[in-house]
Chain A
């Protein structure tokens, strides 16, 4: 996570974000794919509207993800809203235990991820000039590898495998036709197989 934070810092710096904006973005947004999408679109001249739309669409998945963690967070309203900020793909995936969300795992992983993401971003912003091209270092391939590592333990049931294949298929089909982010949101529809096929 720190490595990805660092690569975000480096990329954002090279896209003309300056030293402070990448750190503020990691503090507030705390969502790797959305942050990378925003940086990529700005660096290629896509403009603010496209960057915001893509990033918000990428983070829209935290709507349904937030619903899934709701039963695990039995706190006051403001505390729930605050703790929910620690939910990212990685902490959410790690927080799954026996088909339910484990509150301690989720929040513990969230705090570690958040700290690593921030430290990484700061390091990336500072050391950006020394590190060189993140693409040359293959850091862009580190993301799918991480997601793959988080996916494999999820594929214990037949339903989960069906949802994964369907979700991957939806994303694959939409890549040539939609802006980045939409294939990921649309793939969420694959979870509807859970409505008909009970465990």
Chain B
């Protein structure tokens, strides 16, 4: 089996198991409010981490490249209540434009 197919197979199976574990074992059970309080904060914590890493993470370093400008423009658009798709396209277009001008 090639490296590519090994990765595709192992990651695929692992992801299916990880995704199934919580709902399969805990579905329908009542979860204590404190746990729900913790779990409800996973979204903001993880989404912020995803924004940060996808915007300024290089190879083990923090970089300010055209992605940052793209995300800044998207952020401004979102705060002006632009639709998500518009903000995403603006981010890509801004980043592409800066790269083209360099």
Q: Which residues from chain A sit less than 8 Å from chain B, CB to CB?
A: 3, 16-18, 21, 24-25, 27-31, 33-35, 38, 42, 47-48, 51-52, 55-56, 59-71, 73-75, 77-78, 80-85, 87, 89, 92-93, 96, 99, 135-152, 154-155, 159-161, 163-168, 170-172, 175-180, 183-184, 186-195, 197-199
Summed over the interface, the residue pairs from A and B with CB atoms below 8 Å come to a total of 320
**B60: A residues at CB distance < 8 A:** 175-179
Binding site secondary structure of chain A: helix
User: Per a CB cutoff under 8 Å, which of A25, A77, A166 touches B45?
Assistant: A166
In the complex, B64 has a CB within 8 A of chain A: no
**B57 and A183 form a contact (CB under 8 A):** yes
B62 touches A184 (CB 8 A): no
Q: Is there contact, CB below 8 Å, between A63 and B21?
A: yes
Which residues of A are found within 8 Å of B8, using beta-carbon distances?
17, 21, 24-25, 28-29, 38
Q: Which 3 A-B pairs have the closest CB atoms?
A: A66-B22, A28-B12, A167-B45
Asked if A154 contacts B3 (CB within 8 A), the reply is no
Bound-state Cα–Cα, A58 to B27, Å:
23
Which residues of chain B come closer than 8 Å to A35, judged between CB atoms? 11
Main secondary structure of the interface of B (DSSP, over half): helix
Taken residue by residue from 1 to 22, chain B's Cβ proximity to chain A (1 for < 8 Å, 0 otherwise) reads as 0011111101111111011111
Inter-chain contact A74/B27, CB cutoff 8 Å:
yes
Of the candidates B3, B15, B39, the one whose C-beta lies within 8 Å of that of A191 is B39
Q: Are A184 and B3 in contact (CB under 8 A)?
A: no
Q: Is the CB of B19 within 8 A of A62?
A: yes
